[in-house]
Amino acid sequence: MGWDYSEKTKKLFMDAVKGVPGTHLGEIEDPDGLGEHGSIACGDALRFTFRVDRHPSDPTKDVIVEARYLTFGCTSAIAASEALCRLIEEKKVTPIEALAIKNQDIVDYVDGLPEQKIHCSVMGAEALQAAVFNWAQKRGVDLGKLGIDILPEEQDEGRMVCKCFGLTEPYIRRKIKELNLRSIPQITNAIKAGGACMTCHHTPGGLQDILDDVWGKEERVVIQSGDFPIRREAAPSASGFSDYQLGKMVEKTIDEEVRPTLHKDGGDIEIVDIKGTMVYARLTGACETCAIGDRTLHFVVERALKEKVDERIRVIAV
């Protein structure tokens, strides 16, 4: 299935992958601030860097003048990252002022995201916080004395709740409160917790217990179908598909979505093997020797397969 993206989201994405002047896909060498969030194993990852114009005597007055990102993700991940960079540069803010940019600001900037893609905006806000923490360490700024609690250690400390995505109880609790998450599907959409094996949904100490503890049982939103709770909202997934069915879906997407694009430039693609959600492929024809072949595999081939087949798919060049 495809996602219903806004025109602005699609334009931000296309401009970024085409490298249109003024876009921000890339990385700043020796940055003043560097933050990362997510992991490739989780399906989404963002590396965010910024450079500041340093104030000669007061580092809290440094102003961010350049921002860049590298992301492993889908259309919304790239568009949301692009939006984050633009928001920061357009506002001409200090790193501390940049912390006021929240995931909802990113969602608003791209004219909305599908509910199942909200986690892309959260990923940007989290990477920004990590980058500001990194800047503060380099510049000797004590964020605690300024009343700023970024809590970068949350991911590493505390009881592990969602083992698939490595998310701890302190982190999940904070995001439930910050984002006003009231149900397990909302948690999954926002931070991906519970989005894979789903065993943490109703296990003792799991997501539902945390929701009950934060909001109270009488106030929580219970989404039910008959007598059974819905474990998650529908999202593209190969779960339930046999290897044969997944292979056919990949072939169909390549034939209908990818090949027509490659043929315009005299190129083509060969699917060599599929193992789980790993698709091994090689570009052929004019694309075989193209200098941006890796970007084509990532931004054209992999993106299409993530959108149409399963967002966990990775394309490996062979």
Catalytic residues, by residue number, are 42, 120
Helix (H), strand (E) at residue 291: none
Q: Which of 181, 242, 237 is nearest to 43 (CA)?
A: 237
Q: Which of 275, 273, 203 is nearest to 238 (CA)?
A: 275
Taking the C-alpha atoms of residue 238 and residue 35, their distance in angstroms, rounded to an integer, is 31
Q: Which of 31, 24, 175 is nearest to 103 (CA)?
A: 175
**Contact criterion met (CB below 8 Å) for 191 and 172:** yes
Maximum CA extent, the chain = 65
Residue 108 has a CB neighbour count (10 Å cut-off) of 14
Taking the C-alpha atoms of residue 150 and residue 143, their distance in angstroms, rounded to an integer, is 8
φ, ψ at 225 (rounded to 5°): -125, 105
Taking the C-alpha atoms of residue 125 and residue 134, their distance in angstroms, rounded to an integer, is 14
